Structure 1
Amino acid sequence: MDEVKSIKEWKPHIKPVLSCKASEFRLMGYENATQEDIWNCLTEKVWKGNPEKHLYEVVEDIFHLGTDIYLSYLTVNAYKQDDLEASIAALLH
């Protein structure tokens, strides 16, 4: 298959690959890793949006995703969540 599609168009076809990567990360100690976390990490850190790629490129990117990039993604999201919670608390008090 030599078809090029946007990343979002490939998502339904790569769920088994995302599941495999999430399982790998859980085995490495990231117990809360999910397919959606892996997808969001790739979208924000690796693909930076919705580029067009071949299916084999998307699968390769998933399998090459390292724990360093995933940990960076988790850390940034934790800070964002803390900021959101602080903002909500400030509004309520």
Structure 2
Amino acid sequence: MTIIQQCNEWKTMVEPVLVSKAAELRLMGYSQATAGDVWTCLVEKVWKGNPEKRIHEIVQDIFHLGSGIYLSYLTIQSYQNDDLMASIAALTGSSEA
């Protein structure tokens, strides 16, 4: 019997796999990689939301997450954070951004 659930419903079940992938990414030089970042990257870049999948598909997606996709995710996050800091600085009149 195969169970199909939305990706977010599998998150706690696949936590050890996420931790393993984060450790792999840290070994590759992404020193701040976390299991949460890996999950968010998958949701935003690979799955583009919260589709229904089987657990083996989730695990496969985690293990096959390439460093290029993760780097792309980090780059977009960086730009969004820079924009946020610039917006905060503009609103508060601060020159620190």
Same fold (TM over 0.5): yes
Using the size of structure 2 for normalisation, the TM-score is: 0.94
Alignment-derived partner of residue 16 in structure 2: 16
Deviation at 1:89, TM superposition (A): 0.2
**Residue type at the aligned position of 1:40:** T
Structure (1/2) with the larger helix percentage: 1
Residues 15-54 of structure 1: matches in 2 within 5 Å? 15-54=15-54
Alignment-derived partner of residue 89 in structure 1: 89
Q: Please tell me whether residue 76 in structure 1 is matched to residue 72 in structure 2.
A: no
Deviation at 1:2, TM superposition (A): 0.8
Point out which structure has higher relative CO (alpha carbons under 8 A, 6+ apart): 1
Return structure 1 stretches of 4+ with deviation > 6 angstroms. Answer: none
Segments of structure 2 that go 5 or more residues without pairing to the other structure are none
Identity of aligned residues (%): 60
Aligned equivalents of 1:40 and 1:9: distance in 2? 14
Deviation at 1:16, TM superposition (A): 0.2
Is the partner of 2:32 in helix, strand or coil? Answer: coil
Q: How many residues align?
A: 93
* Higher Cα Rg, which structure: 2
Deviation at 1:3, TM superposition (A): 0.4
**Residue type at the aligned position of 1:71:** L
Using the size of structure 1 for normalisation, the TM-score is: 0.98
Aligned equivalents of 1:88 and 1:28: distance in 2? 33
